[in-house]
Amino acid sequence: MKNVFIAVVLMVSLATFAQDRKMHREEFTAEQKAELQVKKMTLELDLNDKQQKDMKKLLTEQNKKRDEARAKHKEMKESGKKPTNDELFAMKSKMLDEKIAFKSEMKKILSEKQMEKWEELKEDRLEQMQERKQARYHKNH
């Protein structure tokens, strides 16, 4: 009986911790997220002061756009409205245009060597995300 009680307490505390952690992640403003991203990039790519300033501005804009898109998506999902094929096409096209513009701005800020390293790091992160996604899928199925 004592072991069951301990197990229940552990499960509840883990669930609470997981929810807390998720909520804190979403509380950061676009500016705060950008500041953390710039600090991480400074460590990874050895950014100078001007690059840090330019990156913070670019990332803040990107984070604001992403937050707006998430809010819009959440609103659509909650209302039960599904976008038409034309709306989906327009959203995906806009997203790709924004990615192209972002990459173009990154090329203006970073040196060629830093850009290469950033691309490598981006690929590594993408692979890690895909591995975690596969692991979760296999765990649930």
Overall pTM > 0.75: no
Q: E strand or H helix at 34, and its extent?
A: helix 30-45
User: Can you give the length of the chain in residues?
Assistant: 141
How many Cα atoms sit within 13 Å of 6 on the Cβ side?
3
Residue 26 pLDDT: 62
Q: Is the dihedral of CA 56, 62, 66, 69 positive or negative?
A: positive
Render pLDDT for 106-141 as a digit per residue (tens, 0 to 9): 999 999 999 999 999 999 999 999 999 998 888 887
Those residues of the chain that have pLDDT short of 70 are 1-26
Residue 8 pLDDT: 54
Residue 1 pLDDT: 59
